[in-house]
Each structure stands twice: as structure tokens, then as C-alpha cells.
Chain A
Amino acid sequence: MLTLNNINVYYGAIHALKGISFEVNKGEIVTLIGSNGAGKSTCLKTISGLLRPKEGTLSFKGNDLTAVSAPEIVSRGISQVPEGRRIFANMLVSENLDLGAYLRKDKAGIKEDMEKVFSLFPRLKERRRQLAGTLSGGEQQMLAMGRALMSKPELLLLDEPSMGLAPILVKQIFSIIQEINSLGTTILLVEQNARMALSIANRAYVLETGKIVLSGDSKELMESEEIRKAYLGG
């Protein structure tokens, strides 16, 4: 479904992604794990069009995405939940969700999806008339995910959904990710919390300083000695 081939991304002189290649198949949960600064977020930003690769190709459902603008990528069916949530704190919860559906014109479908989001995240329904900035961290994460789902993506990119959340909330968020996946959305998940990510993913890629150093079935990776030492705390 999504294929990255030899992607190289630079921030000025810094070579952030050094020839990354991987793929995500329809229906999967794939996770990119790695420590701080490994290039995980850069990778997602490149897919969603916020950054441009200097070399390499990026394709989605057989169409080249390399030169496609970020708004156009949303309309092609890829939606990103950015790191740090990046909700519009100055707007209502309901307005945040409306913005998620910015490119859609099917009013009935939007309404239906809004209900779906509310059934996944009942807290958002209770708080839909509140300013998004007044939500707690966990609720903001839910809003960011709900907002991304409003574009009805085929592929959902999640950047560090567990960041800054209490363990119980992390569990809740991850079970919702599984639920979203079971409803038919393919998921590419970037996480520092490798244990949680591997526990729900089908496959995983391990990034280190801009390169993929390991990949495979998540269960196998979870057993691997290297991963246990480097990412799972022994």
C-alpha cells in the first residue's frame, strides 16, 4: 500500500534519513521504533508531505507521492496524527473535528464519521463545546486521533501517541488504535515505547540514526536479544 524506496532527507546539512526503504501493507499495523533522534518523526513528516526527500521515491497505492503537496496527500487517503498532538487549542473540540474533514464535501458522511469518532472517544462527545486547549493530555491525544480520522484515511500515521501520558491512558489509547485498525484503517505507528508498540503491531522496523537496522515480525523482534537490550530494558 505504502512503499518507501531509498528515501534520503536532510535538514540543512544534517542527513536525517539515510536511504530508508520499507513498506506497509493494507490492513496492517506497522511500527517504527527507535530512540530519540533516530529519524522516526522525520520519516512520518516525509510521508505526509511536510518534508521533501532529496532522493528516493515514495508511493501510495501505486501512485508516486514524492512531489505531492501535504494537503493533496490528505485527499489521497493518508492522515497524520502529529507528535505532540498539535490540536487547535484556540478552537472548540467540534471545530477541530470539522477541520479534520476539511477536504470532504459529503455532509452526511462527515456526520456519520463524527458519530463514529464519538463512539470511539465518548469523552470528546461530552466536551465537544469546550475549547480544545482545556482538555487533559489524554483527551487531547484522543482529539488529535479523532481529528485525523475525520478525513476518512486509508492509512493513519501516528507519531508518539503515548508521549506524556499515564500508563493507564497509554493502554487505553493503544487498544483504541487496535480498534481503529480492526475497522479497516491501516496504521503506521511511530513509538519510543517499544514494548507497547510491538505488542499491537504486526511488523516492525527499528531505526537507528537515520537507518533501518532491523525489521521483522513484531513477536520475533520482541524475543530478539538485541531489541530486549536496547529498547525493552533487558
Chain B
Amino acid sequence: MGSAGDLILQQLINGISLGSIYALIALGYTMVYGIIQLINFAHGDVMMVGAYIGWFCTTVLKFSFLPALIVAMFLSAVLGVIIERIAYKPLRNATRLAALITAIGMSFFLEYGGMLIVTPQTRTFPSVFPQTVYTFGNVAFKYGDIVIVITTVILMLLLQFIVKYTKTGKAMRAVSYDKDAANLMGINVNNTISATFALGSALAAAAGVLIGVYFNTIDPLMGIMPGLKAFIAAVLGGIGIIPGAMLGGLAMGLIESIVSGIGYSTWRDAAAFIILIVVLLIKPNGLLGKNIREKV
């Protein structure tokens, strides 16, 4: 029992770390989808930009982790708002397909524009944390695991607070439910959509910095796979539902580490896409998705 139990525990720890990162990215997908029904395929690439800003802050400017994280989140939030204003806002009343294709275009723009600026070469993220490994029996977790989980929990609590209790958060929920009615309350719909992009992009940037810190390397195409998986996580949890993205992200991380842990690591990515197919077939609204019936 001992070694098998340890193995499972070890994979759980890895899964939670990875899942936290997916969850942070998934939140941005789900929030943007919730408010303008767009799958923002450039979201993973915003995460990449965040990772590069974090890299720049820690390597060139010699910032420590927290200031680098905050700068990356802030600048990526601005980037998210600019992307929305330039690329998506003019298509607000166009078909959803047009906006979706634009999102894919924006994704390529960031990936290859990024390559042009920072070169396609992989960069090493400096080790901003002590490389301490804590061991309990045969189970090991790194200092980075703890930082990832704590950062994610704090950011999620913060997000919950913003969405539930602040004026902007209430406006975001109102706009996502009914734009015209929100307008009649005096809510500026465009600014509220911008705020949503800002929040989602900031969370993605945090995920980017955490990926850099955790895996030590970053490159301009690093946003593609985590981006897709976070998208699956958002669908798994129920797209448009914030707690669903958190749950879906964690579930994805855990499933991936378990698949790797039992010796099928080459099947890891396939597992993610199988989940997507199964969810779409069996429960297209996602785990937490439900059709709220309205009385009329």
C-alpha cells in the first residue's frame, strides 16, 4: 500500500498545482464568454505575454516574485482591454463566427508578433524561489507548489469578492445576463466588458508567471496548450460559470497527473481532449451548468 499510496498522493499534489494554473486561465475564458459569448482564443497568448513580462521583470529589472507578478498582471490587463477594443468591439453585433475567427487571428498575431519581438528561442526563467523540496515520507512537494496554490487561492478569493460585492462585479453579472436591461440601469456596457477583459487577462498573466516559475522555461508558443486545456476546463465546469472554471481547472490538472502517474504520460494531452468530447456529448452545459428556469 505504502508506495502506491505515496504515488497517488504525489500525483495529487502535482495535479493540484497544475490544476490551479489551468483554473486561473479558465476563469478568463469563462468570464469573457459569460459577458460577450466569445471564446477568446487569444487568451492563452495573453498568458504568454504575462509570462514574458514576468520574465523581463525578474531577469532584467531584478524584481522579486510579488512585484513581478503585479506588474505582469497590470500590463496584461491593459493588453486585454486593448485587444477587446481593437479586435472584438467593432464586431460586437457581427455573427459569433466572425468574432471567433478574429480571436484565432489575434492569437496568431500575439504568437508570431511575440516571436518577432522576443525571438522564438526558449528562455529560462530565473529561480525566484529557493529550490527547497519538502518531503513527507516518499511524497515531495516543491516550494513552488505551495506558492502556486497560495497565489491561486488568494486570486480566486479576490475575484469572488470583486464579482460578488463590488459595483463593477454586479455590473458584470448584470451585463452578462441582459445588456439592454443593464443599460437601463445606467451601466456603461462597454466599460463593463473592458473590466471583464482586464480581470481575465490579469489572471491569465498570473498563470503565465506561475508557469514560468514552476517549469522554468517560457517561449512564444507556450500559451497554446495550456490555453486549450484551460478552455476545456472552462467547458468542463460549465462555460460562463465562475466556480465551474475553478472546479474544471482543478479536475483537468488532477486527471492529467493521474494519467501520467499511472504510466500513460504520452496520453496526457489526449485525455484532455477526450474529456472535452465526453463533456460535449453527455453534459454540454458542463458540471455546474444548469438551465435556470425563469418564471414569466
Residues of chain A touching chain B, judged by Cβ–Cβ distance below 8 Å, are 48-50, 69-71, 74-75, 79-80, 82, 84, 86-91, 95, 98-100, 102-103, 133-137, 140, 147-148, 151, 164
Contacts and interface: CB of A to CB of B under 8 A. Distances in A.
B60 interface: no
Interface string B126-137: 000000000000
Interface residues on B, range: 20 to 34
Nearest to A137: B295
B258 interface: no
B243 to A, nearest CB: 13
Contact of B177 (A75, A88, A98, A135): A88
Interface in B150-167: 167
- Ranked nearest first, the 7 interchain pairs of A and B with the lowest CB-CB distance are A74-B186, A103-B186, A86-B181, A70-B183, A71-B186, A99-B185, A102-B185
Contact of A136 (B174, B178, B181, B295): B295
B64 interface: no
Contacts, number: 77
B178 A95 contact: no
A135 B295 contact: yes
Contacts of B167: 102
Nearest to B293: A133
A100 B295 contact: no
B177 A91 contact: yes
B295 A74 contact: no
A73 to B, nearest CB: 8
16 contacts: A48-B184, A70-B183, A70-B184, A71-B183, A71-B185, A80-B184, A82-B181, A86-B181, A86-B184, A88-B178, A90-B292, A91-B170, A91-B173, A95-B173, A100-B185, A102-B171
Contacts of A50: 180, 183-184
B188 interface: yes
A99 B294 contact: no
Given A89-B294, A91-B173, A102 B181 contact: no
Given A71-B183, A102-B167, A102-B170, 13 more contacts: A70-B186, A71-B186, A79-B184, A82-B184, A88-B177, A88-B181, A91-B177, A95-B170, A95-B173, A99-B187, A133-B292, A133-B293, A147-B185
A201 to B, nearest CB: 22
Contacts of A95: 170, 173
B4 interface: no
Contact of B296 (A88, A151, A164): A164
Contacts of B181: 82, 86-88
A135 B294 CA distance: 9
A103 B171 CA distance: 11
A95 B167 CA distance: 10
A88 B187 contact: no
Contact of A71 (B188, B294, B295, B296): B188
A136 B186 CA distance: 26
A88 B173 contact: yes
Given A74-B186, A102-B186, A140 B295 contact: yes
Contact of A90 (B173, B180, B188, B295): B173
A96 B296 CA distance: 17
Nearest to B181: A86
A99 B171 contact: yes
Contacts of B186: 70-71, 74-75, 102-103, 151
A89 B185 contact: no
A84 B180 CA distance: 12
Nearest to B176: A90
Contacts of A79: 184
Nearest to A75: B186
Contacts of B174: 88, 91, 99
B185 A74 contact: yes
B285 to A, nearest CB: 14
Interface string B268-296: 00000000000000000000000011111
B171 A89 contact: no
Contacts of A151: 185-186
A155 to B, nearest CB: 13
B292 A71 contact: no
A95 B170 CA distance: 8
A48 B181 CA distance: 11
A113 to B, nearest CB: 14
Contacts of A70: 183-184, 186
